[in-house]
Amino acid sequence: MEKQHDVVIVGGGLVGSSLAIALESSGLDVAFVEAAPAGELPPVFDERNLSFAETTCQALARLGIWQHLRSASPIRRIHTTRRGDFGKVVMAAREYGREAFGHVVTASDFGQALETRIAQVGNLQRYRPARFVGSWLAANGLRQLEIESGGERQRVQARLLVGADGMQSAVRQALGIAAEQYDYQQVLFVCRVRTSRPPDGTAWERLGEHGPTALLPRLDRHYGLVHGVAADEADTVAALDEAAWLTRLQEAFGWRAGRFLASGARSRYPMLRVVAERLMAPRAVLLGNAAQSIHPLGAQGFNLGLRDALTLVEEIGRHGLDTPQLLETYAERRRQDRERTLSFSDGMAKISANPGLGVSLMRSIGMGILANTPGLRGQLAAGGMGYRGDLPELCREVMQ
């Protein structure tokens, strides 16, 4: 007998796991399919530092995930400059009546917190390790999935298939949904660094021709570093010894955080934007990176993916699983947030990378205007905190 579930989530990464937890109170029979073995965190839960917007922190607390994090470092100030341009933009959370704009969490710590919380979820079948290999509509109108584990193939049916399987989504391909792809020709290096001036809650972002050099505050007296380099230079940078690497960072970032003293192991990520042309197919929907993978400048990827997941849960509660209205209203509700976040992160990545003199002048003027116009800064801050589009209930501010 083929197994049947109400919802099958492919991908137990950041968004898929959050969705499984958010569906806990729906009373539905939910399953998730994850390629990484049980007891092992999927590789995406690595040492990257994630900055979570205020709306994300609120939702994670309400889902009972936040309480399991070992550490989360508040971002109280954001300081942005562009190498070679005039001006800076400094935003303080206090100006907006807040303690913090959001918090910095390492992906590995977040993965542990999700695992702990997910272990408490009943009504959840885990196919793990198992790889999604294909899907089609069955004769009874439900979604048929084929999954593979240890060389054996198995078929499962779902009333709704959710593709949360990341940038190279096999679900997206199986549904025949095309994706537009853009290569920024940049590689981001990520590691932990120590400098002579320990973190004070400031997130520093120095934009450059080949991406940002950013320092995110952590609670262990280190910073989470991101350093963008041209793709054709990445192998040379990866081969640098620690002293040469620290000298490079000092040159790229300057002295605002003091002297760069030590660095942890570096990981690297090629920068691609992959945007699905549609979010849905009959009885199937794409969420998170499977729907849109964006440049990390602006730190919006997971924040956006979580809002995808929570909106879907709300729409399931409203419409149930068996009407096309479910996915139509879902896609409509996600439109504005998705478009605005995509154009914000893409625009920032492209404009900040442009070395032209005219563009540099425009950017300097833009920075000046932004620095002196509280209303504009306020809009930017609200977007950064996740207040975009039709927000799901769990992300909304609690009115005192």
Ligand X SMILES: Cc1cc2nc3c(=O)[nH]c(=O)nc-3n(C[C@H](O)[C@H](O)[C@H](O)COP(=O)(O)OP(=O)(O)OC[C@H]3O[C@@H](n4cnc5c(N)ncnc54)[C@H](O)[C@@H]3O)c2cc1C
* 16 scored as a contact of ligand X (CB under 6 A): yes
For 248, list phi and psi in degrees, rounded to 5.
-60, -45
> Please, which residue, 362 or 382, has the CB nearer to ligand X?
382
Tell me the residue nearest to ligand X as measured from the CB: 13
Residues 6+ apart with CB under 8 A from 137: 143, 144, 282, 283
* 288 scored as a contact of ligand X (CB under 6 A): yes
Closest to 35 (Cα-Cα) out of 170, 115, 114, 132: 132
> Which tokens in the block code for residue 219?
């609670």
Report d(CA 273, CA 289) in Å as an integer: 10
User: Hey, is 274 helix, strand or coil?
Assistant: strand
Q: Count Cβ atoms below 10 Å from residue 355 Cβ, excluding itself.
A: 11
Residue 333 near residue 317, CB atoms below 8 Å: no
Report d(CA 303, CA 102) in Å as an integer: 11
Binding ligand X (rule: CB under 6 A), the pick from 20, 50, 63, 142 is 50
Query: What minimum distance in Å lies between the beta carbon of 269 and ligand X?
Result: 4
> Please, which residue, 85 or 143, has the CB nearer to ligand X?
143
Binding ligand X (rule: CB under 6 A), the pick from 10, 179, 215, 313 is 10
* 170 scored as a contact of ligand X (CB under 6 A): yes
Single out the segment in contact with ligand X by CB under 6 A; choices: 61-69, 245-253, 301-309, 391-399: 301-309
Query: What minimum distance in Å lies between the beta carbon of 164 and ligand X?
Result: 5
141: left (phi over 0), alpha (psi -120 to 50) or beta: left
Binding ligand X (rule: CB under 6 A), the pick from 228, 305, 383, 384 is 305
Q: How far is CA 261 from CA 243, 247, 398, in A?
A: 9, 10, 42
Single out the segment in contact with ligand X by CB under 6 A; choices: 11-19, 176-184, 245-253, 315-323: 11-19
Residue 270 near residue 187, CB atoms below 8 Å: yes
Query: What minimum distance in Å lies between the beta carbon of 335 and ligand X?
Result: 18
State which of positions 178-207 bind ligand X (CB under 6 A).
Answer: 188, 190
> Please, which residue, 35 or 284, has the CB nearer to ligand X?
35
CB burial string 156-165: b at 16+ within 10 A, e below: bbbbbbbbbb
> Please, which residue, 12 or 85, has the CB nearer to ligand X?
12
Binding ligand X (rule: CB under 6 A), the pick from 74, 296, 383, 384 is 296
* 42 scored as a contact of ligand X (CB under 6 A): yes
Residues 6+ apart with CB under 8 A from 201: 73, 74, 75, 76, 77, 100, 217
Binding ligand X (rule: CB under 6 A), the pick from 9, 21, 51, 76 is 51
Report d(CA 33, CA 19) in Å as an integer: 13
Single out the segment in contact with ligand X by CB under 6 A; choices: 165-173, 240-248, 318-326, 338-346: 165-173
Binding ligand X (rule: CB under 6 A), the pick from 7, 21, 35, 207 is 35
* 132 scored as a contact of ligand X (CB under 6 A): yes
Binding residues vs ligand X (CB under 6 A): 10-16, 33-36, 42, 44, 48, 50-51, 131-132, 164-166, 170, 188, 190, 269, 288-290, 296, 299-303, 305
